[in-house]
Structure 1
């Protein structure tokens, strides 16, 4: 228990919030990720004696760094998106522009710009693992491979 700074006495500290605060995550990102109120996160930050979350955006040196700042690896080989979404697409801002996470993941994984629409082909919601994201021609190759092996097309 720690003092919440409101004069109301000690508050119970949630371990998941404390872990993310100590890892350097921003209040709003933690709130979105855990489904908590940003004010609750701020009270935890204060109770833990951590500096106040500063307004403004964190500046990342590269687009890839900004992408990675919004991801978390899983034990089973996926890379989950922890950032925001725009109409169901994982997005983030870098140097004043909004970017979709899928083309950035594709570029990281394949070393070139994607052709057509990108999306993950692993079936795991929220996954942006570069090796799991494919573009239009890649999905067409996957469908053709499945048809050759199984005699039917797989929805990709």
Structure 2
């Protein structure tokens, strides 16, 4: 299976170190992020799910721990918008260039403002989707923030 994706290419071009972790993706899992954490034996608060939303008229990328739910009210406030809603899967796929279950915050087709749950930044390393179902990137929080220009906020 190819290990190179737009996400890994973006990190390599930026000179940012990372480690790849592969697992058996279950498309029928009730919670894909939790399934990935369990398959890899990773604490769910370290594995961030990538969500795509609209804050007002702007598309935003949201990174929250796989065991948490994003508060749309808090996300709207963080983005300076009056309202916020999750993007339909097909729209998120067109915007990012990735398939649902494989959406990475890195190397997206179009650039979106990125927000990350502040509490997640306390971990030594985090895992985010690597741009393909069954592939996770382990990266230092500071490098993830730098690579995505993420803004930390209380989102859960």
TM range (shorter): under 0.3
Normalised to the residue count of structure 2, the TM-score between the two structures is 0.25
Higher RCO by CA contacts (8 Å cutoff, separation 6 or greater)? 2
Which structure shows the higher helix fraction? 1
Which structure shows the higher strand fraction? 2
In terms of Rg, which structure is larger? 1
